[in-house]
């Protein structure tokens, strides 16, 4: 039971953190709960599909289908996170000023909800597929301990939810005026970490044979498979031994997001000035 709890919990950390951040980032936007639930449900369904067709998926692209798939959905999440941040840079300030915004602003706010819904879906899908395969394996093997293992798995899922809650309520202690700054910073790092992860999948699939050497190794200081390592891996993209290409993707993503956030017109009134 303990081992299945640990495995499921480990897989749920990432999805849990991301749900918490998304909930905080969308504070004050109506129907955000629906969007998050939609993302979770779609992610679970997707996870079951991926688990069911894991063999077929892996056989694609000369045996690197799994890597390509992971790289592609991570890249999708990076694009969605970028879009959200850039949109928030344009409208977030108004939203912060008056959390109960006028109808027009609220409607535009719902647009990036869709993007964040996709991000939640991707996070749940990626980790969920492994949980499904793992729990299915337990069920298939049967034996006396199966129910105990399943209970451990269920507890792991609950713990993932607790992580979401901690992240969310932790972020809510930040005053509304600063909350969007903090969440857009978190989302930028989240996106950079995902971009680096996406690049690693491409490299492991043999599709990006540049800068494959690892640049440093901090496994002695903080192993990536420790709980702290996992948390930091999700939150800021920590890697104990990043490859050169991962570092380029990480830095490049942060740069692109920051530049786009600067370029976007700051709300309708200042649009002309920002264009100069």
Partner 1 sequence: MKKMLIALLMTATPALAADDGIVVHLKNHKFSPSVIKVKANKPAMIILYNDDATADEFDSPSLKIERVVPGHKKANIRLRALAPGKYPFMGEFNAATAQGVVIAE
Site string for partner 1, 174-203 (x = CB under 8 A): --------------------------x--x
Q: Is 229 within 8 Å of 222 (Cβ atoms)?
A: yes
- Smaller CB separation from partner 1, 82 or 240: 240
Give the count of residues interacting with partner 1 (CB under 8 A): 45
CA dihedral sign, ordered 36, 39, 45, 46 = negative
- Smaller CB separation from partner 1, 11 or 88: 11
Q: Which of 68, 174, 231, 236 binds partner 1 (CB under 8 A)?
A: 68
Counting contacts by CB under 8 A, is residue 227 touching partner 1? no
Give the three-class secondary structure for 214: strand
CA dihedral sign, ordered 245, 251, 257, 260 = negative
Task: Identify residues 15-44 at the interface with partner 1 (CB under 8 A).
Answer: none
Q: Is 189 within 8 Å of 52 (Cβ atoms)?
A: no
Q: Which of 31, 41, 98, 141 binds partner 1 (CB under 8 A)?
A: 141
Counting contacts by CB under 8 A, is residue 204 touching partner 1? yes
Tell which residue, 121, 126, 129, 140, has the closest CA to residue 53: 129
Counting contacts by CB under 8 A, is residue 3 touching partner 1? yes
Q: Which of 38, 45, 133, 236 binds partner 1 (CB under 8 A)?
A: 133
Counting contacts by CB under 8 A, is residue 275 touching partner 1? no
CB neighbour class for 56 (10 Å; exposed up to 12, middle 13-18, buried from 19): exposed
d(CA 3, CA 210): 38
d(CA 102, CA 117): 23
Q: Which of 38, 58, 247, 256 binds partner 1 (CB under 8 A)?
A: 58
Q: CB neighbours (10 Å) of residue 50?
A: 21
Contact positions vs partner 1 (CB under 8 A): 3, 7, 51, 54-55, 58, 60-64, 66-69, 72-73, 76, 129-130, 133-134, 136-137, 140-141, 200, 203-209, 212-214, 219, 223-225, 239-241, 243
């Amino acid at each position: 039971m303990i081992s299945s709890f640990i495995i499921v919990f480990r897989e749920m950390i990432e999805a849990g953190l991301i749900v918490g951040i998304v909930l905080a980032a969308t504070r004050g936007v109506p129907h955000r709960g629906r969007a998050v639930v939609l993302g979770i449900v779609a992610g679970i369904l997707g996870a079951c599909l991926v688990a069911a067709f894991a063999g077929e998926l892996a056989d694609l692209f000369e045996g690197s289908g799994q890597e390509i798939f992971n790289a592609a959905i991570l890249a999708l999440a990076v694009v969605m996170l970028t879009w959200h941040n850039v949109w928030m840079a344009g409208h977030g300030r108004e939203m912060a000023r008056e959390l109960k915004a006028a109808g027009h602003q609220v409607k535009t706010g719902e647009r990036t909800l869709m993007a964040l819904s996709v991000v939640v879906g991707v996070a749940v899908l990626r980790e969920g597929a492994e949980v499904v395969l793992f729990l299915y394996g337990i069920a298939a093997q049967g034996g006396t301990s199966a129910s105990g293992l399943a209970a451990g798995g269920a507890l792991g899922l609950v713990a993932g939810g607790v992580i979401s809650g901690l992240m969310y309520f932790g972020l809510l202690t930040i005053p509304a005026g600063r909350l969007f700054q903090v969440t857009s910073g978190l989302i930028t790092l989240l996106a950079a970490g995902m971009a680096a992860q996406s690049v690693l999948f491409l490299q492991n699939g043999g599709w990006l044979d540049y800068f494959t050497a690892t640049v440093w190794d901090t496994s002695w200081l903080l192993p990536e498979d420790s709980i702290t390592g996992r948390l930091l891996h999700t939150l800021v993209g920590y890697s104990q031994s990043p490859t050169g290409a991962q570092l380029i993707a990480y830095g490049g993503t942060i740069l692109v997001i920051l530049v786009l956030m600067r370029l976007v017109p700051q709300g309708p009134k200042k649009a002309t000035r920002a264009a100069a």
